[in-house]
Amino acid sequence: MSSLVPNRVPAAVALVLLLGGCFSGRGPDAGQGWTAAQRESWYFATQGSRLMPASWFRALTLPDGSRFADLGNLDRYGFLRPPADAPRDLPIGFTQDRQSDDRLRVSKLRWYAGQSGAEGQAEPWVGINCAACHTAHLTLDGRSHVIDGGPALIDFQGFVEDLDAVLAATRSDPVRWDRFAAEVNDGRDTPANRQLLDAAFGRLLAWQQQTAAMNDTPLRYGAGRLDAVGHILNKVLMFSGAEASDGNPSNAPVSFPFLWDITRQEHVQWNGIARNSRFALPGDSFEYGALGRNTGEVLGVFGEVVVTPQPPGAGDLIHYASSVRAENLVQMELILQDLKAPAWPDDFPAIDATLRAQGEALFADRCARCHLPPAAQQAGRPTERMLPFSDARPADLTDIWMACNAFVYQGPTGPMQGVRDNNGEVMDDTAPVANMLATAVRGALIGQAPALIRAGFQNFLGLRPRPSFEVAPPRPGADPRAADRQTCLEAENEPTLAYKARPLDGIWATAPYLHNGSVASLHELLLPADRRKTQFWVGNREYDPVAVGYVDADPGDGRGFLLRTRDAQGRVIEGNSNAGHDYGAGSLSDADRRALIEYMKSL
């Protein structure tokens, strides 16, 4: 790796010069280390996500005639209203993207004569950025706290399903279609433009329906969870021309990770599938690894990459057009470097100092080997510990499917066939989809900063090359995922078949717990697995400062979801398992648990 350093610095300097400076100003601290300008940038800057034209989104109506885009409706999915002083009428994390679409395909739509897609003239699109999923909101006795970088309690699955249903109903209902078309083409509502709008709308609807078919799973995520990796992998297949039948079920939902310590970690995502990679520049560290993983995230939430056949001899310099806003991704990562963990609020019940001291000693003895306390964290050194499946006792092994799916899922390569993946292997007609994702990310960014990508992206999604393989169909009545489970649990020396133990700074603000959000509170997590709740309500923002989690009750506002870890027959629901992460918790006394919780409140 050291031989690459001389090439990296000029590439980074060139990119910084290209960006021309940070879009987030500096000023008085607005909380958690951010200025008001940094927070506004985080909440509303586009990353290149393009869900649908903004005029379409605002014109969609529900059966009662109200707007789908109204804040009152979007509240139902857990999205957070914008700050009162923000001139916005859409929630935190909803962005407007206006860029040239000349090189795009999916989002290159024309719905009126003379419409331009040129820079500065193209129609704006609504999209979603990081803040939608990584901004928490909790209340206690009427007092409200917004936690920047914390896990949101949004129902992404329900939002997309309902939006798709509204799109389909709008097109099939003549009255709603007439009202929609008249509003969207206001001032140019001609029969010819109606035909253009109908065709463009049909293309978007078909794309959304194919996406739904690709991700299809009977598993409900509920509030605060999403199989983001599964969605991203299927999007890569779609951009490569795959059919819906080529998709892999998105059946491994995980909680949205908290972000305030992410820039101090080497391994990112719950299983470490992506890596941070950085080098120092005057004033800031430049994150080229983060640029790669964030590009993958954009593709999963309505971004676009145009995967095209590459010329012979392209080598590392494959080139894919995309909607990704690399310059904003760089700046948003710089903003994250300033984000601090939230402190236990002053208006919460005070931390018991005696219990806290007892808990600190217990934590040092029981937990600090994996979850580094502040005193053990060193500047410039990774703060996380990776725990391979192969080293875990059965009592400590949590739900495997997020990591396992990313490891075993394969698909047709389409235009990527013959291209070298990030491991240097030439892809055949099928390949691991994670390798395809890394290749798509590299191709999407090369056109924006070739030297940077060539120097720095060899470790993004650094899965070792794996050959395509056939899996025999399961016997009737057999476990349909038995072969994948065996593959993942018996593999050795596979770095992504692991889970990450990260520092617990601000852990009090990140319920529910375990990587898949299957445990309601810190108190539950410190119980033996067989004593944890097998079902609890998520979506309630009222905080429980004793158990340290959200109140286990239906909030009664449409956001509540009863998360079940067992089915009606008492069997574990794959993807929802609340087992594992014992590490001796079964031997703790209730007093020890209380002391540990009191200490973790202070982190």
Answer for the pair 119, 104: CB distance below 8 angstroms, yes or no. Answer: no
Largest CA distance in the chain: 76
Distance CA 50, CA 96 (A): 8
Beta strands 278-280 and 274-275 are unpaired
User: With bands split at pLDDT 50, 70 and 90, how would you rate the model's confidence at 277?
Assistant: low
Decide if pLDDT at 1 tops 90: no
Q: Identify the weakest region by mean pLDDT among 56-65, 175-184, 294-303, 444-453.
A: 444-453
CATH no. of 353-403+495-601: 1.10.760
Give me the percent of the chain exceeding a pLDDT of 70.
Answer: 85
Distance CA 450, CA 391 (A): 39
Distance CA 393, CA 423 (A): 31
Alpha-carbon distance values, 413 to 393, 404, 447, 488 (Å): 37, 20, 21, 23
Distance CA 288, CA 412 (A): 28
106-111 mean pLDDT: 97
**Higher pLDDT pick, 491 / 346:** 346
Decide if pLDDT at 107 tops 90: yes
Answer for the pair 514, 399: CB distance below 8 angstroms, yes or no. Answer: yes
How many CA atoms are closer than 13 Å to the CA of 100, on its beta-carbon side? Answer: 5
Per-residue model confidence (pLDDT) at position 126: 97
Answer for the pair 105, 207: CB distance below 8 angstroms, yes or no. Answer: no
In the chain, domain spans = 50-128+156-220, 353-403+495-601
Q: Which residues pair with 225 in a beta bridge?
A: 255
User: With bands split at pLDDT 50, 70 and 90, how would you rate the model's confidence at 301?
Assistant: confident
Per-residue model confidence (pLDDT) at position 447: 64
User: Cis (ω within 30 of 0) for the bond into 512?
Assistant: yes
User: With bands split at pLDDT 50, 70 and 90, how would you rate the model's confidence at 208?
Assistant: very high
Per-residue model confidence (pLDDT) at position 210: 96
pLDDT, tens digit, 9 for 90 and up, residues 142-169: 999 999 999 999 999 999 999 999 999 9
